Structure 1
C-alpha cells in the first residue's frame, strides 16, 4: 500500500512539470517517453537476465498498451494547456467509471448500485469544470479541456487494464514499461503533425523539466504503480484516484498560481466524492473472482482492444 501511494504522489507532479516546461503538448509527451526509455531498458535487461525473455502475450499487450498510453498523453497534455494542470488531472481520473462499464459491456459484470448512482453525479461535476455556466472559469478553453480530459480517461482506463492483465508474472515491471514506453514515444512522433507538432530540438531550461518529468513520474512513479497493479485490491485503486488529483491541485495552486473558479472547485469536489462513493462495494454487482480469473478477463479485454 505504501508503494502504491508513493507512486501516486510522484505521478501527481506530472501535470505541473508539463506546465513548467512551457513546450507544446506533443513535445512534452514525446520527450517524457524518450528520456524514460534508457533507464527502463536497463531495468528490462536486468529482468531478462534473472527471469528470461518476456513472454509473447504480455509483450504484445504491452505494445498495445503503448499505443493507448501515447493517446492518453497526447490528449492529457492538450487538456493541461486548455484547462490547467490541476483540473486536467481531476478529469483524467474518471477511468474508474469507464473500467466498470467496460467490464459490464465485455464481461457482462453489472456495476454496483453505488457506481450507477454516482455516475450522473460525477458527470455533473465534469459540467461544472467545463465552464458552461461560469463566466469566471479558469483555463484558455475549459470546454475543450473537458473534451480532451474525457478522451484521456478512456485511453487511460484501457491502458491500466492492459498493464494489469499483461503483468507477465513477478519481476517483469521494467520489461513491460520499457516496451510500452518505447512504443508510446514512436506513436507520439508519428502523430505529432496531427496534434500541434513537436519540437525535436532540445532547449534549456524546458528540457530540464522534461528530464525530471521522465525520470520522476514516468520511470519511478510508473514503476511503483505497475509493480502494485497486479497486487492491489479495488479499494486501493480508488484511494490512488483520490491522492493523485488532489495533490496535483495543491501543487498547481502553490507553484503555478492556478486559481480555478468557485464552480470549478465545486465540480472537483463533486467528482472526488462521487468516485469515493461509487468505488464502495454495494449491491447489484457480481461476485469478484479470483485474482487469476480477473487477470484472464483483463487479458481477454486486451485481445478485444487489439
Structure 2
C-alpha cells in the first residue's frame, strides 16, 4: 500500500503538504506502520488499524495464492460459456480491455510512458498470447478444463529451449532428464496413454494444449525481455508499470485471436447473455485481477517459492472442475497430472538453486 506526502487525514481532508506551519503533524511515511497515532491526534475511526491489517494481509505469498486461484477458474468459465475457441479467445481480450484501459491510463499519468522497445516487445508477446488463448480454448473443449490447464505446463520445456536458441542461455541442470518424464505425464494426463475420460478427444486435445503451451512459452520469453531492468540513469518514475504492459499485450492478443479465430472457428460477437457473463467473469478474474496480483508479487519472492505457489493453478483447476462442473478424469489421467506437476516442481526448484548458485559466484568475483 502506497502512502506518500500527499495523503489526507480525516480532519477536513487537508493534504499534509499543504497544512499551515503551526500544524506540525509529520507525514505518514515518516512514521513506522507499527507505531501508534501521534499524541493528541486521534485515529480516524480505526483507519490506521485497517491499513496496517491490510498491509499485513497483502503479502507477496497471499497475492500469488489469490492470483493462482483466479487463474484456476479461467478454464471452467470458458467451458461454461459453451462458445467456440475463437469466440472465447477474442471476447476475453475485448472484455479485459474494458477494465485494463482505464487502469493503464491512470498508471501512465502517474509513472509516465514506457520506453519504445519494451512496448514493441509487449505487442509481439501479445500476438503469441492470442494464439495461446485460441488453442487453449480448443483444448478445453476436447479434454476438459482440468486437463487443459495441466497440459499448458509444457511451456516448462519450451521456455528453456527458446532461451537457449535465441539468447544462448545454458539449459537448466537435468533438463534432458526431466523432459521425457514431463512428456510422459502430458500423454497420460491427456489420455493418449491409458484411459481417457469418456467423451473426450485426447489426441486433438493434447495437440491443441501443446500448441498453447508453446505459444505461452514464447509469450513468457518476450515479456521477460520487455521487463529487463532499466538503466541506472532511468528516472524512477518510469519504472514499475504493471497495468500498461498487461493492457498492451492484451490488445495485440485480441488482434491475433480475432484473426486466427475468424479463419479457424469463426467468431460470434453476440454469443448470448449467459456466455457473455461467463467470459466477462473469466476476463475480470482470470486475466485482469490475477495478473495485477501476481505481477508485482513474484519479484518479491524467492524463485522457488514463486514457482511452487504458481503450481496451485493446475491443482485448483482440477479440484474446481471436478467439484463444480462434474469432470471425471480417469485414474491414469490423475497419475499423469501428478507426474506433470511433480516434474514442473522439480525443474523449477533445480532452476532456482542454479540461479542462486550463479548469483553467489558472481558476488565473490568468480562469475
Work out whether the TM-score is over 0.5.
yes
Q: Which piece of structure 1 moves more, 78-87 or 182-191?
A: 182-191
Displacement of 1:98 in angstroms is: 1.6
Counterpart in the other structure of 2:284: 215
TM-score normalised by structure 1 residue count: 0.87
Distance 1:283 1:20, change over 3 A: closer
Aligned residues: 291
Mapped contact 1:86–1:249 kept (Cα < 8 A): yes
- CA apart distance, 1:233: 4.0
Aligned to 2:137: 77
1:261 maps to 2:261: no
Comparing 253-262 and 152-161, the one that deviates more: 152-161
Distance 1:288 1:103, change over 3 A: farther
Q: The residue matched to 2:217 in structure 1 has which SS?
A: helix
Is the Cα–Cα contact under 8 Å of residues 15 and 248 in structure 1 kept in the other structure? yes
- Structure-1 residue corresponding to 2:55: none
* SS of equivalent to 2:311: helix
Cα distance change of structure 1 residues 139 and 103 upon mapping to structure 2, 3 Å threshold = farther
Distance 1:230 1:166, change over 3 A: farther
RMSD: 2.4
In the aligned structure 1, how far is the partner of 2:357 from the partner of 2:217?
A: 19
Confirm whether residue 191 of structure 1 aligns to residue 263 of structure 2: no
Measured in 2, the distance between the counterparts of 1:108 and 1:194 equals 35
Q: State yes or no: 1:157 paired with 2:226.
A: no
Mapping 1:1-306, distance limit 5 Å: 1-167=61-227, 170-281=239-350
TM-score of the two chains, using structure 2 as the length reference: 0.73
Q: How far 1:123 sits from its partner (Å)?
A: 0.8
Deviations 1:71-99 (A, max 9, x none): 01001000000000000000012212221
For the 8 Å contact 2:163–2:221, the answer to whether it is kept is: no
Instruction: Choose 28-37 or 101-110, whichever is displaced more.
Output: 101-110
Change (3 A) 1:125 1:139: farther
Unaligned runs of 5+ in 1: 294-306
Does the CA-based 8 Å contact 2:93-2:250 persist in structure 1? yes
- Any conservation in 2 of the 1:9–1:243 contact (CA below 8 Å)? yes
Give distance in 2, aligned partners of 1:195 and 1:231.
41
Structure whose CA Rg is larger: 2
Distance (whole Å) between structure 1 residues aligned to residue 108 and residue 211 of structure 2 = 35
Deviation of residue 202 (structure 1)?
Answer: 4.1
CA distance in 2 between counterparts of 1:47 and 1:151 reads 33
1:287, distance to aligned residue in structure 2 (A): 7.2
Asked whether the 8 Å contact 1:80–1:145 carries over to 2, the reply is yes
* 1:184 CA displacement: 1.1
Is the contact made by 2:304 and 2:352 (CA closer than 8 Å) also made in structure 1? no
CA gap 1:139/1:113 in 2 versus in 1, 3 angstroms: farther
Greater relative contact order (Cα < 8 A, sep 6+): 1
Partner of 1:298: none
| Alpha-carbon shift at residue 138 of structure 1 (Å) | 4.3
